[in-house]
Amino acid sequence: MSIDALRDQIPDYAKDIRLNLGTLASETTLSDQQKWGSFLASALASGNADVIKAVSAEVEDKLSPEAVTAAKAAAAIMGMNNIYYRATHLMSEKTYSTLPAKLRMNVIGNPGVDKVDFELWSLAVSAVNGCGMCLDSHDKVVRKGGLSTDQVQTALRIAASVHAAAAVLTGEAALN
C-alpha cells in the first residue's frame, strides 16, 4: 500500500483529507527526509494500522534505514513524553512541573539522524498527541536550527492530515 492507496480508502465525505494528503506528498518546503519522516512519525502516532502500513510502504525507498528508525523513535519517545509533560503542565499543583522527569530519553540526544529532523518529527508527533509544552520546546529547537515557520507549518499540516486520515479510517472500520 502507498499514500495513493491510502487516499483511495478515504470516503468522499472526507475528500479534503484525501486532497491534503496528495498535496502534502508533493510538498517541497521540507527536505524529503524531513517530509517523509514527518509522515512516518505521525502515522505511527496515529495508531491506525492501515495508515501506518501505507505510509511505511511509501517511505520504503525515500528514507534511509537510519531515518526510519529515528522516525519510529520520535513516535515512541513522544508517546511517553507527551503524556508526562502534558500532565505536569495541566495539573494545578505546579510542583510537578519543577521536578526532574526521571524518565530515560537518551534517543533525543543521539537520534541517529540530523538533530533538527528528529526534533521536527517529534514536533509533528507532539501535535498529534496534543502536548503544547512539547510543541513549544521542539519548535524552539527547530527554529534555532534554521527551519522557518513555513517549514514547521508543513510538518504540522502533515501531522494533522495523517491524523485525520487515521480518524476517518478508524471510524469507518467501527461502522462496518
Q: Is the predicted pLDDT of residue 1 greater than 80, yes or no?
A: no
Catalytic residues: 131, 134
- Beta carbons within 8 Å of 79's beta carbon, 6+ residues apart: 45, 125, 129
Nearest residue to 155 (alpha-carbon basis) of 5, 45, 4: 45
pLDDT in tens, 99-123: 988 888 888 888 999 999 999 999 9
> Model's pTM, two decimal places?
0.95
- What is the architecture of the domain spanning 3-175? Up-down Bundle (1.20)
Q: How confident is the model at residue 169 (pLDDT cuts 50, 70, 90)?
A: very high
